[in-house]
Amino acid sequence: MFNVLKGTHDVIKDEALKYSYIEETLTNIAINYGYEEFRTPVIENSELFTRSVGDSSDIVRKEMYTFDDKGGRSITLRPEMTAGIVRSMVNAKLFAMQDFPVKAFYCGPNFRYERPQQGRYRQFNQFGVECVGVSTVERDVETIVLGYHMLQFLRFRDLKLLINTLGDEETRENYKKALKEYFGQHIDEMCNDCKERYKLNILRILDCKDPDDRPIIDKAPKITDYLSDAARERFEKIKEYLTKLEIPFEVDSELVRGLDYYTGVVFEFHYTSSNGNNYGAIGAGGHYGNLVKEIGGPDIEGVGFALGIERLAKIMEDDQLFPEINRNVEVYVMPIGEKAVQKAVEIAFELRLDFFRTEVCYEKKSMSALFKKAERKNAKFAVIIGEDELKDNTVNVKNMLTKEQVNISMQELPSYLVEKLDQNEHQHEHSCECSCCEGEECEHDDCDCDNEEGHCCCHHKHDCNKA
Ligand code: AMP
């Protein structure tokens, strides 16, 4: 027996469908905002991360899966995706075209050797965006708004948005001096990690999770008191925009994020599910001033964020935020006898070409066992082929809901099913089955419905067949 490695997990069946739902929904929104998809390798040169995420970050110091490949190169399984995405933009010379911003969205697995706990894995999936090549404050706002919009769309209502700024060079220099002075008086009482952070990158101390250190950290100087005029003005503008757009936020002056490349605004989205579960930030990001230059690109800035798919899925499960996803079989083909099995292969082939969700039982079973199987699969129709049907080239079709049974020719089968399936859908009295509409009448074709709050949430392919 082999088990999954500690901190990793299999995503199978319904759960995988839910991940796909999240990814598909986020993809549609990212495309609406003008982002294009990027897919980059899971393995990268280790130096990419030591340079970008930073030598002093916990990720680089303790959490990277790094190994030498057979050619003696130091390789790392990506612990985050921004560095690889920006590297790909540099490699593809996208910045040479000067058509800024370059906007990328991406989705995929990341690897961090962390202590596994609720919502924290060693392999986890992120969906993220990067908007690179511009430094206007409006791009920062647009990016935060996109994250907020995505989460609203997934029906995260009581969302907590925390924001802070890491200011500009001048701000950080002054602030670091103040922190050195303050923590210099307390560092002997703090954890070993903080002692290390004190030497390597003092800002990281603010990120310490050790409860014994928190009272000291809570009394530390706040960056908001050290902002240069330019940095203060920029941060004020961001707050003004968010207020104007009615996006609720809180300023958290201890928010520094675990990656060294951030400068300027940083933000996190938090959510506590109704049963009290909090899996940590569900998404986070910020502005980066030096990252592009640091990894070989021009001196341009960027802003982005990533959402954690595992955490989103857990909360959506807890709070039942997933819409009903209909995977029920439409047609269950039941051949009786060897010859009928051969016919069933052909019938299933045709039905599937016509996009009926079709299943067949090729295995020998009694009629009652076959019907039980059809019921378990919530099949709408059973198509029975026995010796008599083979002889006169017909099939018996049983409506599993109404129990009505008819004998029709094989040729008629597809059109019969189309007509009857439509009728089956109409038995819902034209009310949308997806949970967002909560039984309200859905007015749009293909269920592109707007729910009360004006968000369409019918990207999944359910069976709502409104005209
Ligand atoms: P980060 O790349 O650290 O800024 O994280 C962005 C988002 O990825 C977080 O808000 C989480 O939702 C998710 N995330 C980060 N680390 C983990 C992890 N170890 N397990 C699961 N999700 C994670």
Q: Give the tens place of pLDDT for each residue, 339-361.
A: 999 999 999 999 999 999 999 99
What is the pLDDT confidence band of residue 228, given thresholds at 50, 70 and 90?
very high
Which are the contacts of 367, defined by CB distance < 8 A and separation ≥ 6? Answer: 334, 336
**Beta-ladder partners of 68:** 74
pLDDT for residue 446 is more than 70: no
Whether the CB of 95 sits within 6 Å of ligand 1: no
Q: Ligand 1 centroid to 422 CA: how many Å?
A: 44
Q: In this predicted structure, what is the pLDDT of residue 259?
A: 79
Query: What confidence category does residue 430 fall into, taking pLDDT thresholds of 50, 70 and 90?
Result: very low
Range 396-407 average pLDDT: 96
Letter for the amino acid at 20?
S
Mutate to test the pocket of ligand 1, among 311, 312, 314 (most ligand atoms within 8 A of CB): 311
> Is 121 touching ligand 1 by the criterion CB < 6 Å?
yes
Rounded distance, CA 405 to CA 408, Å? 10
3-class secondary-structure state, position 147: helix
CA of 339 to the centre of ligand 1 (A): 55
Question: Among the listed ranges 97-106, 131-140, 184-193, 202-211, which one has the minimum average pLDDT value?
Answer: 202-211
Residues 310-324 have a mean pLDDT of: 95
- Whether pLDDT at 42 is above 50: yes
Asked whether residue 435 carries a pLDDT value surpassing 90, the answer given is no
Domain at 13-168+228-318, CATH class: alpha beta
Check residues 367 and 207 and name the one with the higher pLDDT: 367
Cβ count within 10 A of residue 17: 14
How high is the pLDDT of residue 258?
76
Query: Ligand 1: which atom is nearest the Cα of residue 121?
Result: 20
User: Average per-residue pLDDT in the chain?
Assistant: 90
Q: Does residue 451 have a pLDDT over 50?
A: no
Sign of the alpha-carbon dihedral angle for 123, 129, 135, 138:
negative
pLDDT reading at 334 higher than 50: yes
Q: Is the CB of 310 under 6 A from ligand 1?
A: yes
Ligand 1 centre and the CA of 60: distance in Å? Answer: 15
Nearest to 434 by CA among 456, 454, 413, 419: 456
Q: Taking the domains of the chain in order of start, what are their residue ranges?
A: 13-168+228-318, 331-426
Nearest to 19 by CA among 436, 268, 377, 316: 316
Query: Which tens digit of pLDDT belongs to each residue from 381-393?
Result: 999 999 999 999 9
Q: Is the CB of 258 under 6 A from ligand 1?
A: yes
User: Looking at residue 402, what is its pLDDT?
Assistant: 94
Task: Report the C-alpha gap between 129 and 330 in whole angstroms.
Answer: 38
Nearest CA owner, ligand 1 atom 5: 284
CA-based nearest residue to 420, from 348, 342, 331: 331
In this model, does residue 454 exceed pLDDT 90? no
pLDDT in the model for residue 453: 38
Average pLDDT over residues 170-188: 95
Q: What is the pLDDT of residues 85-139, one digit of tens each?
A: 999 999 999 999 888 999 999 999 999 999 999 999 999 999 999 999 999 999 9
Pocket test for ligand 1, best of 65, 121, 126, 256 (most atoms within 8 A of CB): 126
Ligand 1 pocket test: pick from 166, 310, 312, 316 the residue with the most ligand atoms within 8 Å of its Cβ. 310
Ligand 1: atom nearest CA of 269 is 10
- Gap from CA of 361 to ligand 1 centroid (Å): 43
* Confidence (pLDDT) at 425: 57
Statement: residue 216 has pLDDT above 90: yes
Token code pair at residue 163? 């924001």
Ligand 1 centre distance from Cα of residue 308 (Å): 5
377 Cα: distance to centroid of ligand 1 (angstroms): 37
With pLDDT > 70 as the criterion, what percentage of the chain qualifies? 90
Specify which residues 162 forms β-bridges with.
250, 268
Distance from Cα 106 to the centre of ligand 1, integer Å: 14
Count of alpha carbons within 13 Å of 449, Cβ hemisphere only? 27
| Model pLDDT, residue 424 | 61
pLDDT of residue 326: 77
Q: Is the dihedral of CA 167, 168, 174, 180 positive or negative?
A: positive
Residue 422 has pLDDT above 80, yes or no: no
**89 C-alpha vs ligand 1 centroid, how far in Å?**
23
Determine the distance separating the centroid of ligand 1 and the alpha carbon of 309, expressed in angstroms.
9
Q: Among residues 164, 273, 313, which one has the least CA distance to residue 224?
A: 164
* Average pLDDT for 278-285: 94
- Asked if residue 279 has its Cβ within 6 Å of ligand 1, the reply is no
CA of 7 to the centre of ligand 1 (A): 13
User: Distance between CA atoms of 385 and 383, rounded to whole angstroms?
Assistant: 7
- 331-426 belongs to which CATH class? alpha beta
Mean pLDDT to the nearest integer, 209-236:
94
Q: Is the pLDDT of residue 460 over 50?
A: no
